[in-house]
Structure 1
Amino acid sequence: MSPHPRELPKLRDQTMRHLDDPASALRSGTGDDAKEGLDALAANLRESGLYWVASDMAALAVSSGSQLAAAQWSTADRPSERGLIVLEGGVGHMDAQGVEIPIEACAWGPHPEGCLVWLLISRRGLAQKMTRTDLTLVVEDIPPLLPVYAFTVPVDGSVPMVEIDPAVPQPVVGALAASWLLMQQPTLIDTQRERPDRAVRKAYARQGRPDPEVTLVDLRRQYVPQGQEDSEEERKAGRYRHRFVVSGHWRNQAYGKERALRRQTWIPAYVKGPDGAPMLASEKVNVWRR
C-alpha cells in the first residue's frame, strides 16, 4: 500500500534523517561507491517538490510511457528542479538478485552529469515483500522510502529510451518521463494541493520552515480528447467512409510563444470519421469516466 499524500512531508524528513546519519544502517551498510549518490539524494530531497500520483493517473503513465521512444530531462521539462513523486500502486519492478522489487516512488535533482534519478520503494512495500521470504525486516533500520537504484540522464536535447541505463526497467523510466509530460496537460489532469497533518505543520513552524504542500495529480473526471474532429477539407473530400478508433499516442506538438517550441503531448484515444458511418470495430475501446 502506497503512503497517503499527507504523509509525504513526514516520510521525506524521516528518510533524510537516515541519509544524514553516518551511523544509520542505510549509510553504514552501503559501500563508498554509493556515498556520492546518497549525498545527492539527501540534498535533493531537502528542497524537493512533493507529488502524489493517483492510481488511474499512474496507470496512464505506465501505458503511455511504454510508447515513448525518447524523452527530455532538462529542468524546464520537470515539474520542479528537484522532486519526489509517489505513484500509487507502483510503476514496475527492479530485479535484485532474483527478487522483484516494486518501484513506488522516484526522486530527482541536478547532478554534474545531468539529472540524477533515484528509484525508491516504501518501507511498507518492502515489508509486504518480505512476508514471502524467510528474512526478517528490522523496521527501525529502514527509512520510510528506501533508495533502490540511481541513474543519471543527460539534460541536453531528447534522450532515446534505449540510451538510458539498461539496468533500469523501461516501464519504470517510461512512466516517470510520461508523468512529467502528462502533468503539463491541464486538459487531461486535475491537480490539487494537500496540506499535511497539523503536527507536521507545527514541527515545520518550530524549525522556521514554510508549510510543506503535496501536489495531488489525477485524471480529470472526463478523460475526453478535444479538437479531434475531421477537418473541413477531409469532410468535403469524403476521405473517410467509416468510423474507426485512433489509439492514444504521443504527438510532437507546438506550444509557447508563437508556437515556436515543441513538446511531446499525449493525445487520448478517440473515434475518427463522419457521424453515422459504420464503425470498423477492430480494437477494444476503453472510455474513462470517473
Structure 2
Amino acid sequence: MTTGNTTGDASARRFACRTCASPLNRHAEWPSGIVSFEHPIWQRADHPPVPVPADAVEATYVCDFCSDAKILFVYATAHRVQLHVDTGQGTYVRDYGTRWSACFECAEYVESRNLHGLLDRILTHGMAFAPEAHEHLSVVLEQVLATLDPGRELAVSGRWEPHPLPAPTLPKVRDRLAALIAGGDALPFGLGQPATRTALANSLTTTRLYWVDDEFTDLTRNAAQVMPRMAFAPGDLPAAHGFAAWSQPVDARRRCVAASWSSHGDAVQIIGYRSIGDGLPPAAVQRLRAEVGWLIPAFSVVLRPGQPVTAAHPAAAPVTTWRLIRQRLAETAPARVDRSVRKSYQRLGRPEPEISLVRIRGTRNASSATRHHGSIAAVDRDYRWWVTPRWRHQRYGPGRTLRDWIVVRPHLRGPQDKPIKATTTVRVLGKLPPRPAADTPAASR
C-alpha cells in the first residue's frame, strides 16, 4: 500500500524521494506529532528516503492498492485514512491521505465496495504482506470503502504501454471518446468545466478523421524533435475541427498516439491522448472499452495566433503534422472503415464516417544509378532527403519564351526504397522565402 495522492495544506501534501522519485509514506509519531517518511513496501529501496514535494520530481506513481503501474482512476475519501500502530515502544500514525489511485481491475472492486475481492487481488497481485499485516490492511481498506466520496477522476500518471489505433476503428474510438468527455468522470487539465466538456464532446462527434501512416508518422516524430521556433497560425489547420491518430507514438514522454483540435474563433484547443488497455486480460479489456474506451487525455493546450511553438511544447507533434500537410508534403486518400462500424452508423441513421489516410506525397526519384551535376557524377544515396522550398526562374508561355518566378514546393529526392534522412526534415518546416521581384536576376536557370 502507498499513501494517497493528496493535495492542499502542508499536512496533506504528497512527498516523493528525491533519489528514486518514489512516493513516500507519511508517518506521525503519537503524541509528539513528529513526522517521518518511508519508502512504500513495493519499493525495494537501498537508500534512505529524501523527502521533497512530489511535484518537484517526476514521481513514479502506482495503484495505491495492488501497486500496478497502469493507473486509471483516482478516488477521494471524505476524511484522511489513518492507522494507529503500536510498536511496543510507542505509537505512530500511518497517514494514507484522502486520494487513492487505482488500476482498472482494482477500481472494479472499489466501485462495488467489495472488500474481500479487493483484499484478495492485493494479496495475489500486489506485494507479499506478512501475515500480521493482513489485519492492518483490512482495517485500512474498510476505511477507504466506507468513506468514499461520490465520483472519480481520470488519472494522468498511469504508465500504460502505447497501443496505436487501427485506421478502420477510428469512428468507434472517436464516438467512445466523445461519450467519455461528456460523461460523469472528472477530467484532468481543466477539461471538466461544463462549458468546456460540452463544446469538446460536440466537436468530437462531427470532427474530421485522419489516420497517419508509418512513414508520415516517422517524418512527424523526427521533425517535431528538431522543429524550430514557429508561430502558430490558424491557416495551419487542415480542418477547423479534427482528430488525428498516428500509426506509432509521436511523443516519447507523453506517449501520445492521437490528438484532437477544435477551433473557437482564432484560438484552437489541442488535446493529446494516450492509449489504455494494453496488458489487461481480454475480458478486462472488453469491459474497459465499454466503460471508458481506448483513449484518455495526456495534455490540453490552447493556441492563439502568433503564439510560439517549439520542440518542447506539448503540441509539437500535432502542429508539425499540420505544417507538413500545409506544405503539401502529404496526400490524403480514403481509408477503409470497419464493417461493423458502418452497420452501426446505418442503424442509427448516421451518415457513413469518412477517414482520411495521410501519407507522404510521391517521391521524385533519380533517373539512374548516378545523377549528374555539371561534370561531376553523384553516387546513388542510401537515403532520401527533403529539398527545401524555393523560387525558380522558369520559362513559360507560347514557345516558352517568357520567364517568371514559380514556387518549387518541398519534395523528397533519392531512391524510393530508402529511408528519409531525419536531419533534412527540419528544412521543410520553415516558411517559403519572399517571392523575388520580377527584375531580380536568376542565380541559375
When normalised by structure 2's length, the TM-score is: 0.44
Counterpart residue number, 2:350: 209
Aligned Cα RMSD in Å?
Answer: 4.1
Q: In structure 1, how many angstroms separate the alpha carbons of the residues matched to 2:346 and 2:385?
A: 49
In the TM superposition, residue 113 of structure 1 has moved relative to its aligned partner by 6.9
In the TM superposition, residue 81 of structure 1 has moved relative to its aligned partner by 0.7
Structure 1 residue 54 corresponds to structure 2 residue 207:
no
Counterpart residue number, 2:320: 178
Q: In structure 2, how many angstroms separate the alpha carbons of the residues matched to 1:190 and 1:39?
A: 33
Q: Give the 5 Å matches for 1:127-138.
A: 127-128=278-279
Q: 1:288 to 1:175 in 2, by over 3 A?
A: same
Secondary structure (helix, strand or coil) at the match of 1:216 reads: strand
Structure 1 residue 122 corresponds to structure 2 residue 280:
no
Identify the match of residue 45 of structure 1 among 186, 204, 207. Answer: 204
Identify the match of residue 252 of structure 2 among 89, 93, 97. Answer: 93
Counterpart residue number, 1:287: 418
In the TM superposition, residue 12 of structure 1 has moved relative to its aligned partner by 0.7
Structure 1 residue 14 corresponds to structure 2 residue 176:
yes
Counterpart residue number, 1:161: 309
Q: 1:212-261: per-residue Cα shift (whole Å, max 9, x none)?
A: 011111235646599xx99xxx96xx9xx79699964764779xxxx99x
Q: 1:175-197: per-residue Cα shift (whole Å, max 9, x none)?
A: 322211222455x4442212422
Aligned partners of 1:88 and 1:104 also within 8 Å: yes
In the TM superposition, residue 110 of structure 1 has moved relative to its aligned partner by 1.2
Question: Please, which runs of 5 or more residues in structure 1 have no aligned partner?
Answer: 95-100, 163-167, 272-285
Q: Give the 5 Å matches for 1:74-85.
A: 74-85=233-244
Identify the match of residue 146 of structure 1 among 291, 296, 306. Answer: 296
Aligned partners of 1:37 and 1:150 also within 8 Å: no
Higher mean alpha-carbon deviation, 12-21 vs 30-39, is at: 30-39
Q: Which has the higher contact order (CA 8 A, sep 6+)?
A: 1
Counterpart residue number, 2:192: 34
Q: 1:37 to 1:267 in 2, by over 3 A?
A: farther
Q: 1:134-183: per-residue Cα shift (whole Å, max 9, x none)?
A: xx99825433221121001113x4x4324xxxxx944x633322211222
> Which amino acid is the alignment partner of residue 204 of structure 1?
Y
Q: In structure 2, how many angstroms separate the alpha carbons of the residues matched to 1:161 and 1:144?
A: 28
Q: 1:53-84: per-residue Cα shift (whole Å, max 9, x none)?
A: 11211011111233432445444321111001
Secondary structure (helix, strand or coil) at the match of 1:151 reads: strand
> Which amino acid is the alignment partner of residue 68 of structure 1?
M
Q: In structure 1, how many angstroms separate the alpha carbons of the residues matched to 2:349 and 2:224?
A: 39
Secondary structure (helix, strand or coil) at the match of 2:248 reads: coil
Question: Please, which runs of 5 or more residues in structure 2 have no aligned partner?
Answer: 1-162, 393-403, 421-445
Counterpart residue number, 1:165: none
Q: In structure 2, how many angstroms separate the alpha carbons of the residues matched to 1:181 and 1:31?
A: 25
> Which amino acid is the alignment partner of residue 296 of structure 2?
L
> Which amino acid is the alignment partner of residue 216 of structure 1?
L
In the TM superposition, residue 45 of structure 1 has moved relative to its aligned partner by 0.8
Secondary structure (helix, strand or coil) at the match of 1:212 reads: coil
Q: In structure 1, how many angstroms separate the alpha carbons of the residues matched to 2:287 and 2:220?
A: 33
Aligned partners of 1:58 and 1:175 also within 8 Å: no
Structure 1 residue 66 corresponds to structure 2 residue 225:
yes
Q: 1:31 to 1:214 in 2, by over 3 A?
A: closer
Counterpart residue number, 1:103: 256
Q: 1:22-72: per-residue Cα shift (whole Å, max 9, x none)?
A: 2xxxx2465976325433431221121001111211011111233432445
Aligned partners of 1:62 and 1:175 also within 8 Å: yes
When normalised by structure 1's length, the TM-score is: 0.64
Secondary structure (helix, strand or coil) at the match of 1:104 reads: strand
Size of the aligned set, in residue pairs, is: 235
Q: 1:3 to 1:32 in 2, by over 3 A?
A: closer
Identify the match of residue 199 of structure 1 among 316, 340, 345. Answer: 340
Q: In structure 1, how many angstroms separate the alpha carbons of the residues matched to 2:237 and 2:212?
A: 15
Q: 1:137 to 1:109 in 2, by over 3 A?
A: same
Aligned partners of 2:262 and 2:270 also within 8 Å: yes
Q: In structure 1, how many angstroms separate the alpha carbons of the residues matched to 2:386 and 2:242?
A: 27
Aligned partners of 2:211 and 2:357 also within 8 Å: yes
Counterpart residue number, 2:34: none
For the pair shown, the structure with the greater C-alpha radius of gyration is: 2
Aligned partners of 2:240 and 2:262 also within 8 Å: yes
